[in-house]
Structure 1
Amino acid sequence: MGKKKSTAKKAKPVLWQKLADHFDTDPGELPVIERMFRQYERPNLHQAVVDLAADDSELCGIVMRHEYMNPSLSKFAREGSSRDFDLGPVAHVDEELPGDRRLACVKRGLKLFLHRGKPIALLLDEERYSATPGLRLEVMAADREAAEDFLRRVETETRAGKAFRGGVLSLEGNCRGGFELQFHKLPSITRDEVILPDAVLQRIERHTVDFSTHAERLKAAGRHLKRGVLFHGPPGTGKTFSAMYLASRMPERTVFLLTGGDLGMIQQAVAMARVLQPATLILEDVDLIGTRREDQVVGANAVLFELLNQMDGLAHDADLLFILTTNRPDVLEPALASRPGRIDQAIEIPPPDADCRRRLIELYGKGLKLELQHLDDLILRIEGVSAAFIRELLRKAAVHSALESEGEIVVADRHLAAALTELMVDGGALTMSLLGAAK
């Protein structure tokens, strides 16, 4: 006798059944639209989906029968191919955000919800077998228009960059031709810590902080918001410190830091800054990309011209502030002069005058007990040195005092004299140069 055929109905694949129940129809007949996002966009993409999907949405984890399989809504929509996948735990990635924050973002998952009263299925996964891995978002809806509408809204919300807004970022190129975001926490710098002549500090603030405070009024009056300022002066005088002070004074602005090799990422940084404006771009030692033609490394001028092109291509209402620092304004002047209007203000950060040298000694002497009888003589003797030199002078004097006695560190004239000899005599011209104090 032949075997009896089983009359038991084969169970439907669980993911196919999920889609069929959600749309109340055969999911194999429904359209699917796909969009790729960059990996660094994951926190903003996650936040966009959370904000747009209904609170009563269902989130399902996906497990593949074989690891090399790529899940897709098209595969889930057919009974045969859907059997290679099953429900499982939702995979998350713990992403870093500005300000020491973190966000657990969905790495792979199927989300079912209603959007404007219409059923939507959304699948998020990573491209694992690609030279340029990214994030793949698929949207299924009852009709193509509904799927397109939801995908456009996700794109808009993702580009708004809610997760990054107001943070301090830098861009770092990777081996795949893309880049990764790094997040930073800048020190909180008060105005009293910026030791500059009053006229110089007021000029800096007027072009940056004051401008940002009244940006909306200036825009309404037809004034363009994009602006560039160049800090120039000898090494160690406080150009970068002044830029960091401005960033801390304007916490509502997203800050991009570019220095060294990162200056080659200027196009990508400006593109992100446009989205995250109001934004400030701080480009340190910009002379490294603007050396004279006979001295430059390959591509240096190309990077400088790209910077100028990016500044030129901005709309007048783009609220972007470019702060450039350089020790060598002479190598930049020809290029900047040939493209007038990109830099609106050049501000020299000079070596500290006698009053500033006195204030710097007080600033860097905080935490120490200063017992100085010949402070005026010291201030005259260190004429022409940088703020960096004075900071190191106080540090070495503190070490001399600590070696001499226990307990509270008391810095006297002899400790400063010993430290000064160590820096200016024993250290030689190279030490002076390294501290921005070469004469």
Structure 2
Amino acid sequence: MPEAQPVIASEFAASFKGFMDTVIAQAPREESFFVKVLREHFGDDDLSDFPIVGENFRMADHPNLHLAMQEYLEAPGHEHTLHGVEVPNEHMGMRLATFTQEHVEAWQRPRKVPVEYVNVPLEDDRTLACVTRGLYLVHDDGRPMAVLLQGPSMSRWGPKIVQIEVMAAERAAAEDFLRTIRAAMHARNVYRGHVISLELGEGGVAVKFHRLPTITRDGIILPKNVIERIERHAIGFTRVEAKLRSARRHMKRGLLLHGPPGTGKTLTAMHLASQMSNRTIILITGSAMGLIEEACHMARLLQPATIILEDIDLIAEERTQQNTGTNALLFELLNQMDGLSEDADVLFLLTTNRPEILEPALASRPGRIDQAILVPLPDADCRRRLIMLYSEGMTVRLRDLDGLISKTEGVSAAFIRELMRKAALFAADEGGPDDGIVVEDRHINDALHELVVEGGELTKQLLGASGGFGSRRRESCG
């Protein structure tokens, strides 16, 4: 009997692999679902000659793309079937070309799954269910097209953009489709005419809707000539836009509101926003200062638009302070303001407590900020009106109103508001649970003592009263 030869492990492994490769190669292959439906849809077994054209959009455009697709698909002469899709390694994204590949292992193929949607927040707490991933098989008056839509990836590492790819018999047909979609996205943009802010979410820029309170002219206690100048530069342009354009006057403008803390700059900006309901309002504060480019891009698309940047001094400090990050943001703002065309109806509304440290290029160069308006501390007449305004909703019995007005010289509107609230608190503690609030002189005096004496210098600074209660001349509020 011959002696058995020893088996070498590497030779066995190579032989076994060859055997398995042969088995797999000879095994019957099931046709990919998407290869099958695409062949049927286009009426052609060879899909390799059909051009594919793609386009990417910002993450915030997901609802706009969804609505544009909806409008297109509902148009007369258009028919479609929508398939949900899933692919291996989803975080790497999908390509429509992979749906046409026949000789691919089953585990690598795109799979048909239920259509997935994600709720995207809209204004007034509404939501819009948008397709997350879907393959549309479209007939446009008999012409077949395949459209792959991908929303922002739900995976942490996936692409945070919106992608669309179009396969058609002719490249021109795919490009025409994309032009139609872009036009519909612009026309049906969900952000137009609303108050929004931008924030940096996980992997991309998210848009948040806001509902601002309606602030009437009566709620703005400023010298008459000041509020008139502000409204003329902001609202007045909109009222006479047609005349200005016919006279070839540029519409892009910048307005800087400056003055001590607590004088009502933010409130005035909100008043302007509430009075310009036909404009898109984009709020930029805090960490969103780094999203100036994105904000200006949206303003350009959604004009007429207003960009409100509060506390602009936080990014526009003098270069002598050597704040590299701050200067980068400043230059970005200047570049974006310069980059907008002169006839773009975009208003930059900026506020600051410290105009003296603003970058000179921002504060004085034409074409960036063309009007700077001081929002002053209230004079005696304005302080009287502020006391009346913040007395609403309660009974105020003051024997020495003139004395109070004299005592509060040099304070801000914010200080008077807090003074009246603090006095209301003292008065409320004295009455029964069903009694109304009656504010008298002693409550005012107690409130003043707590704010000015016990509160110390920091409280006065927080309420815009650090300038003291001295005497100074101011513009008349009459």
Tell me if TM exceeds 0.5: yes
Range 35-44 or range 277-286, more displaced: 35-44
Q: Deviations over 1:98-155 (max 9, x none)?
A: 3433211100111122335422211112455856432221211122111122123323
Range 127-136 or range 354-363, more displaced: 127-136
CA distance in 2, matches of 1:421, 1:68: 62
1:141 aligns with 2:168: yes
Residues 284 and 326 of structure 1 are in contact (CA less than 8 Å); yes or no, is this contact kept in structure 2? yes
Query: Residue 26 of structure 1 is aligned with which of 45, 62, 83?
Result: 45
Which residue identity is paired with 1:75? T
CA distance in 2, matches of 1:186, 1:93: 27
Q: Deviations over 1:350-376 (max 9, x none)?
A: 111222212212222221122222222
In the TM superposition, what is the alpha-carbon distance from 1:80 to its structure 2 partner? 4.4
Corresponding position of 2:190:
163
Corresponding position of 2:71:
51
Corresponding position of 1:40:
60
Corresponding position of 2:226:
200
Equivalences for 1:415-426 in 2 at 5 Å? 415-426=443-454
In the TM superposition, what is the alpha-carbon distance from 1:18 to its structure 2 partner? 2.7
Structure 1 residues 362 and 214: CA distance shift in structure 2, 3 A: same
Equivalences for 1:29-428 in 2 at 5 Å? 29=48, 30-54=50-74, 56-64=79-87, 71-81=94-104, 84-115=109-140, 117-126=142-151, 127=153, 128=155, 130=157, 132-158=159-185, 162-174=189-201, 176=203, 178-332=204-358, 334-336=360-362, 339-406=365-432, 407-428=435-456
Which residue identity is paired with 2:168? A
Corresponding position of 2:464:
436
SS in structure 2 at match of 1:195: coil
Q: Which runs of 5+ in 1 are unaligned?
A: 1-8
Q: Deviations over 1:328-352 (max 9, x none)?
A: 1111263335623321111110111
Q: Deviations over 1:27-51 (max 9, x none)?
A: 6242222222222221111112112
Residues 28 and 74 of structure 1 are in contact (CA less than 8 Å); yes or no, is this contact kept in structure 2? no
Range 282-291 or range 306-315, more displaced: 306-315
Residues 93 and 159 of structure 2 are in contact (CA less than 8 Å); yes or no, is this contact kept in structure 1? no
Q: Which runs of 5+ in 2 are unaligned?
A: 1-27, 469-478
TM-score by length of 2: 0.83
Structure 1 residues 373 and 69: CA distance shift in structure 2, 3 A: closer
Residues 93 and 158 of structure 2 are in contact (CA less than 8 Å); yes or no, is this contact kept in structure 1? no
Residues 75 and 82 of structure 1 are in contact (CA less than 8 Å); yes or no, is this contact kept in structure 2? no
CA distance in 2, matches of 1:304, 1:234: 22
Structure 1 residues 204 and 37: CA distance shift in structure 2, 3 A: same
Structure 1 residues 372 and 296: CA distance shift in structure 2, 3 A: farther
SS in structure 1 at match of 2:320: coil
In the TM superposition, what is the alpha-carbon distance from 1:232 to its structure 2 partner? 0.6
Corresponding position of 2:23:
none
Which residue identity is paired with 2:96? L
In the TM superposition, what is the alpha-carbon distance from 1:16 to its structure 2 partner? 3.0
In the TM superposition, what is the alpha-carbon distance from 1:301 to its structure 2 partner? 2.9
Give percent identity, aligned residues only. Answer: 51
Structure 1 residues 428 and 412: CA distance shift in structure 2, 3 A: same
Q: Deviations over 1:385-434 (max 9, x none)?
A: 11111111111111111111112111112111111111111111211111
